[in-house]
């Protein structure tokens, strides 16, 4: 089925090839035009040449285009898949982690939550809003898929800026739980219906069913979960903080200690500083390995020694963008367990002006959230604290307001002090001014 699919940030050697891998497994999308777009011409050209070689191996399954001109890329687009970052990601991430702690914050990690997550949002949201405003103007009927973090804040900013745009935010964090469930319950994952609800990187497993019988499997899960995950403890995944929250609040957080702790005042109490630094290092090294692999492939191509089968002949990335696009095109009514969308009366006791992570049904109309109703009070109370910070963070950007920016930092549970917030903002502004909004 011939569609025009635009990949924004295609020059990324981790993002571009992973989406292309999934595309080449799709028969439904055969004949489509794939547009590679990036502002980095050098890496865009590398990914384009590799994709051209793959396309030839696959008997020209797609028409491949590339351009550094965003408006040109978006013309006539049916789907836009975007994953961008600004600046040196890991240099900035280390600043997001280290500077707030230097001034007294108790935050961990600093990627999507805490004052570091707020600074990350200040940098990444403005360029994403320029992209979605172009989508809204040039191809208003296109379906937009965001992969950039901090996911919930980015998506909330999109919702407030282009309210008529059809979009979702995708994160693969649910895959950690998906890996363990079949082992825990001795059931095939394909026959399990997960019901996770909350915010991105801050969600809880609220329900679990057997797809064929409709049997409620939450009693089985709760009976074995704590013992199982204690035996399979992983400092980068489910560890002491996850176990403490599960015991205290009664519902399993499926997002890993590294992410969960970003939003909690007591996150530092149940995590180790060394683990957070090691996670940033681990993520950076993973990106370097992927980059080096793509560059080796590019060198083989230039030497005329490219693999005969190519690299896109089997497997998938595990991301859900292409399955969602296929489900929209074919009106599949498929169930996706953890998608970021506006809270349109899906969770009643959270702000409706919020982007939540929840199950959805995907068909020709796009995506529709599966209503839950009221979350348990203790869970909703936790999430509302972060919702308030996200609200201020996004409004600070939309209004270019320095006062709101500092207030968003100050009221964070891992700050709680205007002097600390002022000091964080001042030093980070000095380090990152080139990437930040012109706050007034």
> SS3 for 329-397, per residue?
HHCCCEEEEEEEEECCCCECCCCCCCEEEEEEEEECCEEEECCCECCCHHHHHHHHHHHHHHHHHHHHH
What are the start-end ranges of the H helices in 205-347? 218-231, 240-249, 257-260, 273-302, 321-330
pLDDT digits (tens, 9 = 90+) for 195-251: 999 999 999 999 999 999 999 999 999 999 999 999 999 999 999 999 999 999 999
User: Averaged over 148-167, what is the pLDDT?
Assistant: 98
When pLDDT is cut at 50, 70 and 90, the band that residue 256 belongs to is very high
- Asked if residue 170 has pLDDT above 90, the reply is yes
- Asked if residue 282 has pLDDT above 90, the reply is yes
Report the share of the chain in percent with pLDDT over 90: 100
pLDDT the model gives residue 1:
79
Active-site annotation holds for 172: yes
User: Averaged over 73-87, what is the pLDDT?
Assistant: 97
When pLDDT is cut at 50, 70 and 90, the band that residue 395 belongs to is very high
User: Averaged over 374-383, what is the pLDDT?
Assistant: 98
Contact indicator for 177, 194 with CB cutoff of 8 Å: yes
Contact indicator for 242, 177 with CB cutoff of 8 Å: no
pLDDT digits (tens, 9 = 90+) for 358-372: 999 999 999 999 999
Q: Which two tokens stand for residue 270?
A: 């149940």
- What is d(CA 409, CA 127) in angstroms, rounded to the nearest whole number? 21
Contact indicator for 298, 290 with CB cutoff of 8 Å: no
Q: Which two tokens stand for residue 303?
A: 């030497």
Q: What's the mean pLDDT when you consider all of the chain? A: 97
Active-site residue identified among 172, 179, 282, 345 = 172
Task: Look at strands 33-37 and 63-67 and give their pairing.
Answer: parallel
Within 10 Å of residue 33's Cβ, how many Cβ atoms? Answer: 16
pLDDT the model gives residue 51:
97
When pLDDT is cut at 50, 70 and 90, the band that residue 310 belongs to is very high
User: For the whole prediction, is pTM greater than 0.85?
Assistant: yes
User: Averaged over 319-344, what is the pLDDT?
Assistant: 98
User: Averaged over 150-155, what is the pLDDT?
Assistant: 98
């Amino acid at each position: 089925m011939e569609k025009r699919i635009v990949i924004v940030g295609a020059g990324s050697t981790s993002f571009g090839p992973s989406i292309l891998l999934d595309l080449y497994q799709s028969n439904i999308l055969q004949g489509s035009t794939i547009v590679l777009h990036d502002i980095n011409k050098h890496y865009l050209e590398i990914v384009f040449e590799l994709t051209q070689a793959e396309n030839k191996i696959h008997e020209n399954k797609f028409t491949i285009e590339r351009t550094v001109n965003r408006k040109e890329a978006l013309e006539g687009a049916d789907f836009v898949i975007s994953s961008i970052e600004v600046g040196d990601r890991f240099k900035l991430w280390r600043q997001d982690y280290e500077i707030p702690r230097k001034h007294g914050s108790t935050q961990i990690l600093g990627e999507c939550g805490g004052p570091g997550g707020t600074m990350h949002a200040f940098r990444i949201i403005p360029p994403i809003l320029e992209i979605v405003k172009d989508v809204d103007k040039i191809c208003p009927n296109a379906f937009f898929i965001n992969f950039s973090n901090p996911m919930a804040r980015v998506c909330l900013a999109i919702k407030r800026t282009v309210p008529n745009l059809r979009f979702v935010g995708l994160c693969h964090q649910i895959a950690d739980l998906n890996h363990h469930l079949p082992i825990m319950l001795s059931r095939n994952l394909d026959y399990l219906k997960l019901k996770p609800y909350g915010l991105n990187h801050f969600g809880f497993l609220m329900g679990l069913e057997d797809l064929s019988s409709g049997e409620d499997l939450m009693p089985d899960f709760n009976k074995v979960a704590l013992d199982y995950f204690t035996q399979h403890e992983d400092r980068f995944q489910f560890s002491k903080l996850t176990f403490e929250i599960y015991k205290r609040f009664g519902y399993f957080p499926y997002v890993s200690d590294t992410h969960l702790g970003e939003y909690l005042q007591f996150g530092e109490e149940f995590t180790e500083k060394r683990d957070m630094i090691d996670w940033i290092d681990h993520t950076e090294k993973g990106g370097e390995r992927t980059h080096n692999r793509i560059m080796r492939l590019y060198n083989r191509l230039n030497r005329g020694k490219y693999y005969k089968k190519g690299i896109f002949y089997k497997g998938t990335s595990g991301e859900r963008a292409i399955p969602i696009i296929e489900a929209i095109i074919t009106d599949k009514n498929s169930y996706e367990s953890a998608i970021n969308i506006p809270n349109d009366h899906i969770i009643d006791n959270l702000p409706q002006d919020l982007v939540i992570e929840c199950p959805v049904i995907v068909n020709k109309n796009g995506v529709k959230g599966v209503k839950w109703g009221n979350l348990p009070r203790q869970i909703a109370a936790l999430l509302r604290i972060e919702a308030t910070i996200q609200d201020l963070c996004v409004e600070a950007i939309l209004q270019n307001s320095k006062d709101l920016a500092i207030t968003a930092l100050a009221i964070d549970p891992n700050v709680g002090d205007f002097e600390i917030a002022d000091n964080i903002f001042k030093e980070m502004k000095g380090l990152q001014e080139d990437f930040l909004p012109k706050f007034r």
